[in-house]
Each structure stands twice: as C-alpha cells, then as structure tokens.
C-alpha cells in the first residue's frame, strides 16, 4: 500500500471503523533517520490504533526507528518482509529478507530491546520466495524470527517472486495458499497469526477467522471502503451506529478537509482516497469523476463535494 495509506487515508478509514487496526505505508529506516521525521510520522490522534510499518535490515537502525515509533505513540511497529518491489530489493529489505531469517530475528530482537514491552514488534511476510513453495521454508522462518521476541506474524498467503514479476503481478499471479497459513497457526498455537491476501468478502473473512487470529485487508478495503463501516458490528461486537450511509462519511471528511486546508493541504490530497466510497451505488461513477477531475483540483472542499453530490444525484 506504498503511497496509498497516508495519514489522510487513515483518517478517512477511521471514520468507518473505530476498532480495526490501521497501518502506515512502509517507511524506510533511512527516511526516518535522515529525513523529515514529522512528515513521515505525524498522525491525527483520531487514527488510533495505528501501526508504523518499517522497511530496513540493519538492527541498529531499526532499533532507533522503533524508539521513534514509541515516542510518536504508535500502537505497534511492524517490520515489512513481504514487499517484492525491485526498489525495495536494492535496499536489501522487504521480501528478500525471508532468505535471511537469522538477520530478521536479530532485527526483531534489537527492536524489542529498544522498546521493551511498551510496543509490540510484529513482522509481515510471504509464505515463500521465488519457487520455494514447501511449507518447511515458511515454518522455519517463523520459528527462527519468533526467537527474537516476535509473537505476531502477518502472512501474505502467496509467494513473492523476486525476479520476473512486477509488484502488481506479485499480488495476483503467485497462487494463494491459505492452507499454509492455517498450518502455521496449528504448529505455533502460542503465536498470533494473521492472514493477508485476496480477501474480498465477509464470507472469506469469517472463513479465515475459523483458523487464524486475524485478517489483514488491503486493496479491497481501499477500493471499497464502505465495507469497513460494518466491521465494528460484525467483528468487534460494537453495535453503535455512527454512520448511516456514505453521505455521513462525506460530511465527516468535509470537516476534515476544511481543517486540513488551514494547514495548506489541498482537498484532492484527501479525496483521492475516497473515490470508492459510493462503489456499487447509483451515481457512483459520476461522483468519482468529479472528485478525480484534474480541472477541479484547486476547488475548495465544500464546492468540490457539492459538485460531486449534484452529479451523483443527477445520475
């Protein structure tokens, strides 16, 4: 979700679900240690609970970044060992780290030593890399990394092909094998195992929860965000009805856009994350076209939302 789940996106998603844990886009250790920390780490307190996802492979650097996550009051710090992009591989982190379980263990241990029990340290990874498809590979990876003090593993249930596939193809071509993730939970019952990859319906979500401790939903949640509005009731036992329909979410985000404008943020930087809000509803296409129209990007939020609503209702 690199370049997508920024702070505006997360604030929007938090209007839809109060309880699901939100994750930042992956931030490299170099960007935090040598760049603008406030730009990468600042978030609205209303986003909580939110986890910081890190990309890196140097234990000392990751330990420093874990301390920053604690200082900024994140609820979790997550090490990404699943991203297959060539740019990430050139930095020697992401999915290629699955070939170095001992190093990942040492990274986790350094992060745990830095923050103690104050902040959970978790790992996100794949079930394998390239043509390594045997269960023993991912089993040994999890077993080794757990020795460093990680007890939460978020497992994308498909291999990462480090050569020959684009990042987009890596999300679609390697087959999903949820049975391997289920086996991990059976073999490591003391660990929390969360499954990720290809989840598009409540039926799939409920099916996974019969075998594992949690489900991470990425692109479907982004592309069909109104789905999130049912999660608090369906999965967290919270029956409070905060939003009746997508229009309520629009109104909440209009207020946010107006506040953000006072900080120099253009409305489009926020509404680009909302384009799927009315997906599947009459007029959704016209509403989306208005919000994404380059010619309207300089409009103030009230005018932009009003035009989009007029177009939706007219359609």
pLDDT digits (tens, 9 = 90+) for 5-33: 999 999 999 999 999 999 999 999 999 99
Query: Mapping DSSP to helix (H, G, I), strand (E, B) and coil, where does residue 305 land?
Result: helix
- 95 to each of 54, 57, 280, how far by Cα in Å? 13, 11, 35
From the DSSP assignment, how many helices (H) and strands (E) are in the chain? 16, 8
Q: How far apart, in whole angstroms, are the C-alpha atoms of residue 80 and residue 57? A: 10
Which residues are annotated as catalytic? 83
Q: What CATH number should be reported for the domain whose range is 7-236?
A: 3.20.20.70
Within 10 angstroms of residue 75's Cβ, the number of other Cβ atoms is 15
The structure tokens listed for 172 are 């679609």
CA distance 270 to 265: 8
174: nearest Cα among 215, 130, 125, 216: 130
Q: What is the mean pLDDT of residues 280-306?
A: 94
Structurally, what CATH architecture does the domain formed by 246-314 represent?
A: Up-down Bundle (1.20)
Q: Give CA–CA dist 159/174, Å, rounded.
A: 6
User: Which tokens go with 111?
Assistant: 């992060």
pLDDT in tens, 217-260: 999 999 999 999 999 999 999 988 889 999 999 999 999 999 99
Nearest alpha-carbon partner for 197 in 161, 173, 226 = 173
Give pLDDT tens digits for 38-95: 999 999 999 999 999 999 999 999 999 999 999 999 999 999 999 877 666 555 678 8
Domain ranges of the chain: 7-236, 246-314
Displacement of CA 52 from its chain's centroid (Å): 9
**pLDDT band per the 50, 70, 90 thresholds, residue 3:** confident
215 is written with which tokens? 């489900």
- For residue 270, what are the contacts with CB-CB under 8 A and spacing of at least 6? 8, 12, 253, 256, 257, 260, 301
Question: Helices (DSSP H) in the chain: which residue ranges?
Answer: 7-16, 29-34, 37-41, 59-71, 86-90, 101-115, 135-146, 167-170, 178-187, 202-209, 219-223, 231-236, 246-261, 267-271, 284-292, 301-314
**Nearest of 106, 122, 82 to residue 218 by alpha carbon:** 82
pTM higher than 0.75: yes
Pairing of the two strands 121-126 and 152-156: parallel
* Per-position b or e across 113-126, b if 16+ CB within 10 A of its CB: ebbeeebbbbbbbb
Write out the two tokens for 169.
């193809």
Reply yes or no on whether the pLDDT at 282 is more than 80: yes
How far is the C-alpha of 285 from the C-alpha of 33, rounded, in Å? 42
Tokens of 244: 């009746």
221 vs 274: CA distance, rounded Å: 11
Q: Which helix (H) or strand (E) holds 138?
A: helix 135-146
């Amino acid at each position: 979700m690199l370049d997508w789940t920024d702070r505006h996106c997360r604030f929007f998603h938090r209007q839809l679900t109060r309880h699901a844990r939100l994750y930042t886009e992956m931030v490299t250790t170099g960007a935090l240690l040598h760049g603008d920390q406030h730009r990468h780490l600042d978030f609205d307190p209303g986003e909580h609970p939110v986890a910081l996802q890190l990309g890196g492979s140097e234990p000392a650097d990751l330990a420093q970044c874990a301390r920053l996550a604690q200082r900024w009051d994140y609820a979790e710090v997550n090490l990404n060992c699943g991203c297959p992009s060539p740019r990430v591989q050139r930095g020697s982190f992401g999915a290629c780290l699955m070939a170095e379980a001992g190093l990942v263990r040492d990274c986790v241990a350094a992060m745990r030593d830095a923050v103690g029990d104050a902040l959970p340290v978790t790992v996100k990874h794949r079930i394998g890399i390239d043509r390594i498809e045997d269960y023993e590979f991912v089993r040994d990876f999890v077993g080794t990394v757990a020795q460093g003090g990680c007890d939460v593993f978020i497992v994308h249930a498909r291999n990462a092909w480090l050569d020959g596939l684009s990042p987009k193809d890596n999300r679609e071509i390697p087959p999903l094998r949820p049975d391997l993730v289920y086996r991990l939970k059976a073999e490591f019952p003391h660990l929390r195992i969360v499954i990720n990859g290809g989840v598009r319906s409540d039926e799939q979500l409920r099916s996974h929860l019969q075998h594992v401790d949690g489900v991470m939903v990425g692109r479907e949640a982004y592309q069909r965000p109104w789905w999130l509005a049912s999660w608090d009731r369906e999965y967290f036992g919270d029956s409070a009805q905060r939003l009746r329909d997508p229009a309520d979410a629009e109104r909440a985000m209009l207020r946010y856009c107006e506040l953000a404008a006072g900080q120099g943020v253009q409305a489009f930087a926020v509404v680009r994350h909302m384009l799927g809000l009315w997906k599947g509803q009459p007029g959704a296409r016209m509403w989306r076209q208005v919000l994404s129209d380059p010619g309207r990007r300089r409009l103030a939020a009230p005018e932009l939302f009003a035009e989009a609503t007029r177009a939706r209702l007219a359609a």
